[in-house]
Amino acid sequence: MIRLLMLFAFVTVLLPSALQSQTIEITNTDARYIGNGSELPSEHYADQPYVIVCDDGSWVCTMTTSSGVESAYMNHIVSTKSYDQGKTWSRLTDVEPSGVPQSSWAVPLKVPSGRIYVFYNFNRDRHPGLAGVMSGPFAFRYSDDHGKSWSTERYEVPMRKTKIDYDNFSNGSYQFFWSVAKPVVTDKAAYITYSKLLVDNPEAKGFHRRAEGFILKSSNLLTESDPEKIRWDLLPEGEIGINNPQFGDVQEEHHTVVMEDGSLYVVYRTVEGHMAYSISRDDGRNFSLPQQLTYASGGVMGNPRACPRIHRTRDGKYLLWYHNNFRTRTYQGRNPVWLSGGVEKDGEIAWSQPEIVLYDMDPEAFGMSYPDFVEQDGKLWIVETQKNYARVHEVSQDLLDGMWSQFLENKGRIVKEGLVMESNDNMLKAGSINFPTLPNLMTGGGFTLALWFTAKDLEPEQTLLSTFGSKHKGLEVSLAENRAIQIKIHDGEMRDADGPYREGQVFVSDTDVLSPGTLHHVVFVVDGASGIASIIVDGMLSDGSLGTRPYGWGRIYTFMGDLNDTYTCKGNPDFNGQLRHIRVYNRYLTTSEVIANYQAGL
């Protein structure tokens, strides 16, 4: 793993004698930190870095690159090879040359013969601006040598015109579209999912006004060696693509997986703060009315205008890449990245509570997007881009297994790794107990505080416990308004009198998560490495909602450091309830570990 400098923290602390500065150098070895990934080559801009595992075991990655910025006139498609599972890469090979006409948004596919196809937009008619990179035809080339070279001929995929094409400024003379989805296959056909766009002016100012999902199906691509003889059909049947009018005009970046029974399951982004999905049970001819994507528990899964990516693993399970916030009509909010694990249940996919899989230390960073999943030798990697950098990251199998294991019942396993304190109700009757040393948040440490308790009433501001002392350092847990619970943390440092962190930070759960007289399991996960604090109540991550707040988790102040003060935890004798059990871990627990503890019971 590459070790990179994560952060130089310049902390100024006012002391009685003088103003002193402290410089702290930190090396971040966390596999979730994007800087620890293996970087792919590019000319500067890098987008849709999608990988094919070749028949000889090597990898080939196709991507859109240029020496400029997104949608620049010099956009073109390139490929690069890796022979060590993404650690190092060859020099770029042109699939299409740089310059006019542009080529953009490559999606590769390997067929049973070992041939690799790459499909992309080709701006044959020299449309300017954004219209150019979203224009046709939908072209392709192929490689018969594992991606080392590409066919000299360029071929085109015919596209049936539909209403959205005739509604654009050209009245159907031109088509505008793009695909961010690697093709999927069954034993009968190949399917390329893409989004058609309504572009109402020649320069595509404002990008586009409407988008719908379609699928190009080929029944002979998997076996036909002559590109001129490949047959294509456009799905669904009729004039309207995959969309739900209630979800607004912009419904785009559709992705497809094939379910166990052959059904096509499509996921895509909206601008309404959530994702949508639709299923076809008849080989793509018709699709169900799209619905909001939800967890198995029923809560809506939040996502801004960012690419959600669904993947079916080789053993028939599912993964979903998204960003777990409810920001609307914005491309921002792509950092960190969350994963949810899925399993098939009653003809649908049930989605787990999520985990952070990747993060950037800069809270203002645009974030990661347009990912790919790669499987080989029992391992799984994610390839992602920040537009100027594309990287490969191996994902912990424990993280993946943990999400899928959330659907197993009666596991009864208490997590022991990192457990530094455990107190039952008999110990807590003393009113004060010893409290362990917590890792420094500013240097990447973290901790988890887990409570079992019952509250007879939910009057706000009732304190359950506190570790604060004369140094004004510590943590405090209390009830919050609207049947919520909160934690306050403070490192005791003096900051601006009117600054937001003078009195520390408070992280609050979602509303209506507590009930009077009910035994609750509440867990505060304070992850200094990712800079994220989250709250999990009765096995449910507080993640906000469309109707309340865009974020349920919060960002830890960059310079929040040492929380240790009295090394004593005091209960509140006036709390109208009973604190039954406390566990403290000197590391962040994953969401799945928290759920395992909850399922094990008190």
pLDDT (mean) for 389-402: 98
Would you give the distance in Å from CA 424 to the centre of its chain? 37
Lowest-pLDDT range, 18-27, 467-476, 514-523? Answer: 18-27
Residue 5: per-residue pLDDT? 34
Domain ranges of the chain: 34-405, 419-600
Asked if residues 222 and 185 have their Cβ atoms less than 8 Å apart, the reply is yes
Whole-structure pTM value? 0.94
Q: Check residue 14 and give its pLDDT.
A: 38
| Mean pLDDT on 179-201 | 95
d(CA 591, CA 525): 9
Which CATH class for the 34-405 domain?
Answer: mainly beta
Q: What pLDDT is recorded for position 25?
A: 65
Give the 3-state DSSP-derived string for 458-487, with helices as H, strands as E and coil as C: CCCCCEEEECCCCCCEEEEEEEECCCEEEE
Average pLDDT, the chain: 93
pLDDT at residue number 405: 95
Encode pLDDT of 374-390 as tens digits. 999 999 999 999 999 99
The pLDDT assigned to 209 comes to 86
pLDDT of residue 413: 87
- 3-class DSSP assignment, residue 174: coil
- Top CATH class of 419-600 equals mainly beta
Identify the residue with better confidence: 64 or 503: 64
**pLDDT digit string, tens, across residues 229-276:** 999 999 999 999 999 999 999 999 999 999 999 999 999 999 999 999
Cβ atoms of 325 and 551 closer than 8 Å: yes
Tell whether omega for the bond before 227 is within 30 degrees of 0, i.e. cis.
Answer: no
Average pLDDT of 571-593? 96
* Distances from the Cα of 245 to the Cα of 57, 213, 252, 450, angstroms: 45, 13, 13, 43
What distance in Å separates the CA atoms of residue 409 and residue 344, rounded to the nearest whole number?
16
pLDDT at 429: 83
pLDDT-derived band at 206, boundaries 50, 70, 90: low
Q: How far apart are CA 400 and CA 416, in angstroms?
A: 19
Helix and strand element counts for the chain (H, E): 5, 41
What angle do helix axes 397-405 and 591-600 make, rounded to 10 degrees? 40
Find, among 574, 266, 580, the residue nearest to 454 by Cα: 580
Q: Residue 560: name the closest of 458, 447, 393, 452 by CA.
A: 447
From CA 537, how far away is CA 513, in angstroms rounded? 7
Residue 7 pLDDT exceeds 60: no
Q: pLDDT tens-digit profile of 129-178? A: 889 999 999 999 999 999 999 999 999 999 999 999 999 999 999 999 99
**pLDDT at residue 596 greater than cutoff 90:** yes
Shortest CA distance to 79 belongs to which of 146, 138, 174, 156? 146
Q: What is the pLDDT of residue 19?
A: 39
Give the pLDDT confidence score for residue 532 in this predicted structure. 98
3-state SS of 408-452 is CCCCCCCCCCCEEEEECHHHHCCCEEECCCCCCHHHCCEEEEEEE
For 268-285, write each residue's pLDDT tens digit. Answer: 999 999 999 999 999 999
Residue 290 banded pLDDT, cuts 50, 70, 90: very high
Pick the closest to residue 323 from 291, 278, 380, 366 (CA basis). 366
User: Do residues 223 and 231 make contact, with C-beta atoms less than 8 angstroms apart?
Assistant: no
